[in-house]
Amino acid sequence: MKQSNLFGRTLREAPSDATTPGTQLMLRAAIARPLAAGLYTWLPLGFRVARKVEQIIREEQDRIGAQELRIPVITPAEYWKETGRWDTLEPVSFRTKDHNGRDYMIGYTHEELVMHHARNEILSYRQLPAMVYHFQEKGRDEERPRAGLLRVREFVMKDAYSIDRDWEGLNEQYWAQHGAYAKTFARMGLDAISVESDTGNMGGDVAHEFQVLTDVGEDRLVFCTNCDYKANMEKATRKIESAAAAPSNVPAATPIATPGITSIDALTSSLKIAPKDLLKTLLMKDLTGNVVAIVMPGDRELNEPKLRKVLKTSDVKFANDTDFAAVGAVPGYIGPTLATLAEQGPLPLGLNARLLVDASVETRPYVAGANKKDTHVRDVLPGRDFKGETVDVHDVREGDPCPKCGGRVTIKRGVEVGNIFKFGPYYAEKMKATYLAEDGTHKPLMFGSYGIGIGRAVQTIIETHHDARGIIWPLAVAPFQIHLLPLFSKDESVRESAEVLLKELEFMGLEVLYDDRDDSPGVKFADADLIGIPFRLTVSARTVKENAVELKRRDEEKATLVPRGEIVSKMRSLVGERRR
């Protein structure tokens, strides 16, 4: 491939809105170009990388017996309506109608469609297990695309679906995919680790995400510094010391005047106590508008995914003024319902809402809101003065004890490059997808789903494989294997020599980008470093004179001279025996 013909030019400076190092390099190296917010065109260089990433995934999927098929991008509404996702995906999906007015969605994902085909193709247990996958565009009207290809509104995903008879079969396929994912990411140079993740509200108890640690990651991950515990923040828990017996000498709860003091900060400074000695009470509501009160220590943060799971809802929001009024809450002075004080008269009845008490609330006296303007209450003893359902809805934080071994946990950022998920019978039950079992009964198909985002993988490779000069592609996914740079001079022998070498390398099936541009050496070297092809070969008057070729690996500083007679076989062995 002649570089002068390459569609897409390198940029000396990155556009100012490219913020992450990888995004800047992705744009500068002509991997992809933005078309609109969250919509990117692969340029030829990037598309070659994407195809190699796909091929690695394909090989590893095939290896565990998954079969490739292809489901359309445009999907009819009827299947989504069967599971109710026609409505729940409304805010985040692209939709259209045909000329007859029928509704369609650009596939947000493809579970419903796979399940539809499965119920038609699979009638008997004899046809199970089955596993299929495809590479297909997903359309997601993300509210906030970011960081180049990391989060976009249209992207190719490899999504695989396993279908089996029972949990045991599902489990086997799940772990087969887990193994395939580990190999897949390793092959493309991604150091991905599997962490437990939230299963959302679609049933199933196990899900893993494959995460690559990098500061540009959107997810926060909790690791134990002592054992192998690792989990997404959305799922992570911490060890909580078993509740100590309630201290017996706690005075009765007493209202105190706190005029105008409505925040944790204000309370800590005016009462001279620490945030951890305060109780904060949050009012949240679920999708259907039910309001719940959550009591947690003043120094802890609410974890919304955990709360959603407790409430079995797909969305939670902070309550608004109307909600406050409806449950009898006073903004700034909200607290758990203190039954005794309410009965005795000094305080109003309290909240008319379901009360959840976070597990991090200890059995010791706290200061809490009184549900009365300008008033708090001291010596509030959980269990004695109020009761609620104990739930774990707080964020784990740096230094908390590990739930597994009690060691300290640490928090890092990561990019989710893949996830695997056991749905179980969830979709089959919604879509009446059953098979005839050996015992003559109809049973639901057990379902698992497994996704990898291609563009995100490519962007993550760049984010984790670069230096100040440019990208450093792992050989397996590099757009080309060899970058051949002739340093032209008056002496035509350089051009002749380079072009003969090019032919020989290409004849061996090696992928070569040939920089035939009439530019100065500095420009060529700088572009070569930017584009990041693993092996750079330089042919110049100097090397021709010595009957040699200069070889430099992108990931090493030093270059070596290789005799002309050996260079082709040397490159062949460096790149590997793989032929097209």
Partner RNA sequence: CGGGGUGUAGCGCAGCUUGGUAGCGCGUUGCGUUCGGGACGCAAAGGCCGGCGGUUCAAGUCCGCCCACCCCGACCA
Most distant pair of Cα atoms in the chain: their distance: 103
DSSP string, 275-334: GGGBEEEEEEEETT--EEEEEEETT--B-HHHHHHHHT-S-EEE--HHHHHHHT--TTS-
Peptide bond into 382 cis (omega under 30): no
Instruction: Note whether 304 binds RNA by CB under 7 A.
Output: yes
Based on CB atoms, which residue is closest to RNA, 104 or 525?
A: 525
Closer CB to RNA, residue 219 or residue 299?
219
Does 416 bind RNA (CB under 7 A)? Our answer is yes
Shortest reach from residue 65's CB to RNA, in Å: 22
> In angstroms, what is the minimal distance from the CB of 312 to RNA?
14
Q: Is 318 in the site for RNA (CB under 7 A)?
A: no
Q: How far is the CB of 466 from RNA (least distance, A)?
A: 13
Site for RNA in 439-458 (CB under 7 A): 451-453, 455-456
Ramachandran area for residue 272 (φ above 0: left; ψ -120 to 50: alpha; else beta): left
305 binds RNA (CB under 7 A): yes
Distance CA 59, CA 65 (A): 10
User: By CB under 7 A, is residue 522 in contact with RNA?
Assistant: yes
Residue 151 C-beta: closest distance to RNA, Å: 5
Sites for RNA among residues 29-68 (CB under 7 A): 34, 36-38
Measured from the CB atom, the residue of 98 and 566 that comes closer to RNA is: 566
User: Six-digit token pair at 537?
Assistant: 């070969």
Residue 206 binds RNA, judged by CB under 7 A:
no
* Rounded to 5°, angle at Cα 477 from 471 and 479: 70
Residues 68/134, Cβ–Cβ less than 8 Å: yes
Q: Which two tokens stand for residue 140?
A: 């997601």
Which residue, 304 or 379, is less far from RNA as judged by CB? 304
CA 316 to CA 238: how far, in whole Å? 23
Residue span binding RNA (CB under 7 A) among the ranges 17-25, 276-284, 379-387, 397-405: 17-25
Q: How far apart are CA 141 and CA 147, in angstroms?
A: 16
Asked whether position 286 contacts RNA by CB under 7 A, the answer is no
What is the Cα Rg of the chain in Å? Answer: 30
Q: Which of 4, 389, 559, 576 binds RNA (CB under 7 A)?
A: 559
- Interactions with RNA, residue window 229-258 (CB under 7 A): 234
* Interface size with RNA, residues (CB under 7 A): 71
User: Using CB under 7 A, which residues numbered 536 to 555 contact RNA?
Assistant: 538, 540-543, 550, 552
Q: Which is nearer to RNA, 37 or 500 (CB)?
A: 37
Helix (H) or strand (E) holding 192: strand 192-196
Stretch that binds RNA, among 72-80, 99-107, 424-432, 524-532 (CB under 7 A): 524-532
In this structure, are strands 32-36 and 316-318 parallel, antiparallel, or unpaired?
Answer: unpaired
* DSSP H or E stretch at residue 119: helix 111-121
Q: Which residues contact 253 (CB under 8 A, 6 or more apart)?
A: 338, 340, 341, 377, 378, 379, 380, 381, 385
150: which DSSP letter? T
Q: Does 535 bind RNA (CB under 7 A)?
A: no
Under the criterion CB under 7 A, does residue 196 sit at the interface with RNA? no
Binding status of residue 218 toward RNA by CB under 7 A: yes
Closest CA to 308 of 200, 232, 454: 200
E strands within 214-252?
Answer: 219-224, 230-232
**Residue span binding RNA (CB under 7 A) among the ranges 4-12, 127-135, 249-257, 274-282:** 4-12
Residue 411 Cα distances to 230, 231, 241, 304, angstroms? 10, 10, 21, 18
User: Based on CB atoms, which residue is closest to RNA, 20 or 237?
Assistant: 20
Positions 321 through 380 that interact with RNA (CB under 7 A): none
Selected from 5, 13, 99, 248, the binder of RNA by CB under 7 A is: 13
Told to check if 71 binds RNA by CB under 7 A, we report no
User: Which of 93, 162, 184, 419 is close enough to bind RNA by CB under 7 A?
Assistant: 419
> Could you give the C-alpha distances from 83 to 112, 118, 142, 164, 194, in angstroms and in order?
8, 15, 21, 20, 29
Window 95 to 134, contacts with RNA (CB under 7 A) = 109
Query: Which DSSP letter does residue 530 get?
Result: H
Near RNA in 140-179, by CB under 7 A: 140, 142-147, 151-153, 155, 157
Choose which of 2, 4, 12, 225 interacts with RNA (CB under 7 A). 12
Residue 400 within binding range of RNA, rule CB under 7 A: no
Which one, 116 or 536, has the nearer CB to RNA?
536
Nearer to RNA, 34 or 169 (CB): 34
Cα(512)–Cα(423) distance, integer angstroms: 45
Q: Of 92, 256, 274, 349, which one interacts with RNA (CB under 7 A)?
A: 92
486 is a site residue for RNA (CB under 7 A) = no
User: Which listed residue (141, 219, 362, 499) binds RNA by CB under 7 A?
Assistant: 219
526 binds RNA (CB under 7 A): yes
Under rule CB under 7 A, residue 397 binds RNA: no
The CA-CA-CA angle for residues 315, 414, 402, to 5°, reads 80
Tell me which stretch binds RNA (CB under 7 A): 177-185, 258-266, 402-410, 488-496.
488-496
CB of 380 to RNA, least distance (A): 29
Among 170, 462, 530, 533, binds RNA (CB under 7 A): 530
Q: Give the separation between CA 410 and CA 392, rounded to whole angstroms.
A: 19
The residue among 337 and 538 lying less far from RNA, judged by its C-beta, is 538
Q: Indicate whether 188 belongs to the interface with RNA (CB under 7 A).
A: no
Q: How far apart, in whole angstroms, are the C-alpha atoms of residue 57 and residue 450? A: 12
